Amino acid sequence: MDYSSEVARHFAAPRQAGTLPPGPGTLVRGEGGSVEQGALVVFQARIDAGRVVALAWQAYGCPHVIAACSLAAEKLTGCTPAELGTFEPLCLRGPLEVPALKSGRLLIIQDALRKCLAAWDNGDQRSPLNKRN
């Protein structure tokens, strides 16, 4: 498997990885995929004054998935909550040079982001920060 230098960069120093500390605004959470499927991603978003003021992610997955989380988090910070739902992760294929065979994996990022939006829409403010087993 070959990885682009952009993937390599994100993998070595992922941006906004981890969890968000407690703070002002609303913290929502969404996940996509599963260990059994080979990739599991969790996004957290802090929404304040109609903006996603902070975004963090955790991922179990291949380098493409990890780089995609890193790049998506970077791109989406500052967006509106609605944009979490309309974000098209396939747009990351180009910058990251994700091979066609793997592009399906990016869709789990969409799932996680949409679940963040749904949580926001539901007024769900309990953010389960604890990791899963």
Partner 1 sequence: MQLPVYFDYAASTPVDPEVVGLMADCLRRPELAANPAALGHAAGRAAQALVEAARAQVAALINAQPDEIIFTSGATEADNLAVIGTAWFRQARGRHLVTSLTEHKAVIESCRHLATQGWRITWLRPDAEGLIAPAAVEAALEPDTVLVSLMHVNNETGVVHDIAAIAAICRRHDVLLHVDAAQSAGRERIDVRAGQIDLLSLSAHKIYGPKGVGALFIDQERVRRVSPLLFGGGQERGLRPGTVATHQVAGMGEAFRLAAQRLPDEARHVTALRDQLWSGLRQLPGILLNGHAERRSGHILNVSITGVEGESLFYSLADLCVASGSACTSLSNEASYVLRALGRPAALAQSSIRFSFGRQSTAAEVDFAVEYVLRAVQHLRSFSPIDVPGA
Binding residues (CB under 8 A) for partner 1: these are 1, 3, 11, 14, 17-18, 31, 35-36, 38-42, 57-63, 66, 130-133
Q: State the nearest-atom distance from the C-beta of 8 to partner 1, in Å.
A: 9
**Strand, coil or helix: 83:** helix
Cβ-based nearer residue to partner 1, 8 or 91: 8
Task: Determine the length of the chain.
Answer: 133
Cα-based distances in Å from 88 to 18, 49, 121: 22, 24, 19
In the bound state with partner 1, the residue whose beta carbon lies nearer, of 20 and 59, is: 59
In the complex, the smallest distance separating the C-beta of residue 73 from partner 1, rounded to whole angstroms, is 11
Toward partner 1, which CB reaches closer, 32 or 81? 32
CB of 2 to partner 1, least distance (A): 10
Q: Residues 82-102, buried b or exposed e (16+ Cβ, 10 A)? A: eebbebebeebbeebebeeeb
Amino acid identity of 78? Answer: G
